[in-house]
Structure 1
Amino acid sequence: MPPVPPLPRLPRPPPDRGAPGPRDTAVRPLLDWRLRFGALALIWGFSFLFIKVGTEAFAPLYVTLGRMVFGTAVLAGVLLARRERLPRERRVWGHLAVAGFFLNALPFSLFAYAELTISSTLAGICNATSPLWGMVLAVVAVSEDRPNRQRVAGLGLGFIGVLIVLGAWQGFSGQDPAGTVMALIASFSYAVGWLYVRRTLTGTGHSHLSMSGAQLLLGTLQLAVVTPVFAPAPDSLPVLPLLSVIALGALGTGVAFLVQYGLVAEVGPTTAMMVTYFVPVIATAAGVAILGERLSWNTPVGALVVLAGAALTQSPPRRKRTRRQPA
């Protein structure tokens, strides 16, 4: 799921942590980028289903910790296979620790807690608001990134879509406020994390694989310290929830990281970012078809409005016109 979803332009995203490292483009992909694009959308879309199934047997923090452990294991294996090293600079590790918190440990945990009381469908739609939060941060924190009217309209339209999804005219009946707020904060955390990454880790000279592996490792260590203190350890390991957590980590985090950054290096962050708009569609289909979640008319309508608003926020920022002096 956009666990590392491409967020909006500006401090944006997820994807882009600067130019691809020298080793990011060294291996020619075996599959066409369109196939990998579709696979990434499916993986992230099903991640919300995996979270829901995992939390049926395990505490949310343990679901997130398992996700991080298996995701880190995938990246560690690829790092070993390619004989790449993790960053060595203390400054880089310090910034990666902050990135691991805002891009992994915090949002992953919030989504897991949110899905205790809200549907995987709603969680997937809340995740799609990341570009909107990125737009807000662009206005507040990036003074040189002045939004044009189209991007401002997209921001307003997106949040109207959120109100439609939640059924605001009915007093948000049928939706758990706490769970919904947690999912929205998780989405906001992605935007904060990618703003931080763009400002502190661009141009480090390390490959995306090396940086991502270190970031996930640090996020895993953070959760490993906190989880035993605040969550009860599982007394059994039911097969289906366990498989869901493994898939969530190995596919939804580890493999997804590799596919995402490969797409960014090959087709650019703008095209790669478009996967964000397919994720809530797949999350909704999976939730309804597999988990039997109820779907009222306002949910898909509001989701379309959210996606339309998010798309508008991706229009290029206004550039100042310079008048040509007469010769």
Structure 2
Amino acid sequence: EKVELYAGDTDWQRIARTKQSDFRRNCLQVGCEANSLNRQDGTKNYYGNVLQEKDARKGLNFYEGFRKEILSAIGAYRQPLWANLLRSEHIPWNLFFPMGLTSRAKEACGELLRELTGLEVKEVTCIRVEYAPSSADTTDGWRYLNDGTSFDCYIAYKDNSDAFCGIGIEVKYTEMAYKLQPGSSEYRHTREKLSEEYLCVTLQSGCYHTLSAATDEEAFPKVLIEDDYRQLWRNHMLGMSMVQHSDIRHFLSVHLYPSGNKHYEKVLPEYERLLTEKGQSTFLPLTYERLFEAMGHYVFFSCEEDSKWKEYLRDRYLY
């Protein structure tokens, strides 16, 4: 097969794309689908990181040892999630979903979280992937930010006093900042006019160095709306809104990324400088490398299956 280089890739994206293409060819031993179609002459571009639909529908983007359980929970077929080896959507299913499959796995997850975060994690109660918290007591279904903001992964736990708490995890791989689509709900809530929900939750959270001003809107640090920080801020505030509604006692926003992603190596320290002491205590940048190292300290499943799963994660996502 002929696989091309994508001219728009950064150095890290090129490394990761090549790695996922090699994984498809050498480990999965299947062909690739075209990434794009040139509308002028009808030629297709093959970069090697997209599964053909027949293979994607078999669940080949997900770890074989837990594939049956993942596919039973994941819902209807969606091409980016099931077929694109390079995008990050599938990673929480391979990485975090298995941690909630058994009571032993949740116990080990609790031990892992205590090591990584220093939090009082007495008991992990639930692990949800692609989780948008909502409530049935509102007419539009959204309780917190009045939109569909969601966590890539949400880990619910009880602290030592049996209070419910939460950890929201945003998972990145090759992604960087993303642009807003004019007319989208997010564009209206942030760019056109900052929504009352975002304004109030942000200022009440005490997480940011606000501006000295006569009104709340003038006090809001508008840098948070910029492309580099907007998603970090929204996910952080989704959890803080849950705290403000007294639905959980404590929240931690985790941003997980590989150290090769130089965009987040730069942006995350910049975001942390916008945070107060309280903000820093509720936000944790975490690399794949640090997470996988800590996972090696605990047995989530049987030793044989556990070893295979961890080896798969390291081989597939580290470079």
Which structure has the greater CA radius of gyration? Answer: 2
Shorter-normalised TM range: under 0.3
Output the TM-score relative to the length of structure 2. Answer: 0.25
Decide which structure has greater helix share: 1
Output the TM-score relative to the length of structure 1. Answer: 0.25
Higher RCO (Cα < 8 Å, 6 or more apart): 1
